[in-house]
Amino acid sequence: MQLIAVPMASSGGGGITLLLPLILIVGMIWFMSRTQRKQRQKQADTVAQLVPGTKVVTTSGVVGIVEEVDDEYVTLEISEGVLVQFVKGAVGRVILDEIEEPADEAADADDEEPAEEVRDTVDVPETGEKVQDKAKLPPTHTEN
């Protein structure tokens, strides 16, 4: 008995199927590096705009007010009379001052009548008596 080796038929698109995953991987790497580049640029812009008196949060979570800015370091006042030096790169973000409500609007808000109080009873039409509307809470592990 003689065995004959017959080549299997190919699907025809072998080159493109091997190239497609490679293209996807390169695209993902490019997208991730682009995102990181934008984040680094945003961080550099934040550090470049630091001036004394700016309130900031460091990457370790320390909140302070900028007292002095050097080439490499930022001096923060974290409490009254307590100065700490950080590397500029450790500044995570700037805290914007909250906008206070103007005095005119505050006076107008006091002149308004208070809203109607919310009733916690419900009229039952059939009997005419009032029933307390209680919130039902899920049982806790201490209840029997």
Question: What residue type is 100 in one-letter code?
Answer: E
Residue 80 lies in a domain: yes
Residue 140 lies in a domain: no
Q: What is the pLDDT of residue 100?
A: 42
In a domain, 108, yes or no: no
Q: What are phi and psi of 58, to 5 degrees?
A: -80, 170
Q: Is residue 133 part of a domain?
A: no
Q: What is the domain range of residue 43? A: 16-94
Partners of residue 82 on adjacent β-strands: 79
Ramachandran region, residue 14 (left: φ > 0; alpha: ψ -120 to 50; beta: rest): alpha
Query: Is pLDDT larger for residue 15 or for residue 88?
Result: 88
Domain with residue 42: its CATH number is 2.30.30.30
The average pLDDT across 91-115 equals 60
Specify the pLDDT at position 46: 84
Q: How many domains does the structure of the chain reveal?
A: 1
Does residue 82 belong to any structural domain of this protein? yes
